[in-house]
Amino acid sequence: MVECKSALRKEVRSRLATLSMDEKVARSRLMSTVVKNHLAVSGARVVALFAPLASEPQIWSLVEELSMFMTVVLPRVQGDTMEFYCYDPTVMVRGALGVLEPANGEPVMPHEIDVVLVPGVVFTKEGTRMGRGKGFYDRYLSQAGFRGLKIGICYAEQIVEALPVEPHDVNMDVVIYK
């Protein structure tokens, strides 16, 4: 199964390589609008977002916009653990994985998060997700007390009909793609 997942990740990454940054930004704006609609309907007060890699939906403008009227938390990875911390644009640093992370503060408890926006490499329309293979999101979303709405976000090139599923995999409630 590992070989199958590796081949699928490689195939999807080659599809993403055909997209220009302008195309990614334009589609990301459309996805951000859909995300905001979900947040409005859900009544979310605390939303977990992420600092995007170049291959992921470009949601920095969404991070900045939402932080003006709700609590936005971003992930920080330490070892094998991922936790979410309040976003403060003045204290962001590159973490161990090369991703921008909040540099200080106390972690937000899983039960406090109303909605989490989850990146991934491959998704199905029904909510199955394959990440980068380290399991950070699956472990976090499996914690006792986590009750938030799980929204997967990706480009249409990352959608497939079916994915291999393992017992530890956590499905998304919604997948947004453009």
As a whole number, mean pLDDT of residues 117-127 equals: 97
pLDDT, residue 4, reads 85
Fold assignment, 2-177: Rossmann fold (3.40.50)
Band (pLDDT 50/70/90 cuts) for residue 1 is low
Q: Residues 20-55: pLDDT tens digits?
A: 999 999 999 999 999 999 999 899 999 999 999 999
Given a cut of 70, whether residue 100 has pLDDT beyond it is: yes
Given a cut of 90, whether residue 98 has pLDDT beyond it is: no
Task: Enter the pTM of the model.
Answer: 0.95
Given a cut of 80, whether residue 85 has pLDDT beyond it is: yes
Render the chain in DSSP notation, one character per residue.
Answer: -HHHHHHHHHHHHHHHTTS-HHHHHHHHHHHHHHHHHHHHHHT-SEEE-----TTS---HHHHHHHTTTSEEEEEEEETTEEEEEE--GGGEEE-TTS-EEE-SSPPBPGGG-SEEEE--SEE-TTS-EE-SSS-HHHHHHTSTT---EEEEEE-GGGB-S-----TT----SEEEE-
Residue boundaries of the structural domains of the chain: 2-177
> Tokens 């962001």 belong to which residue?
92
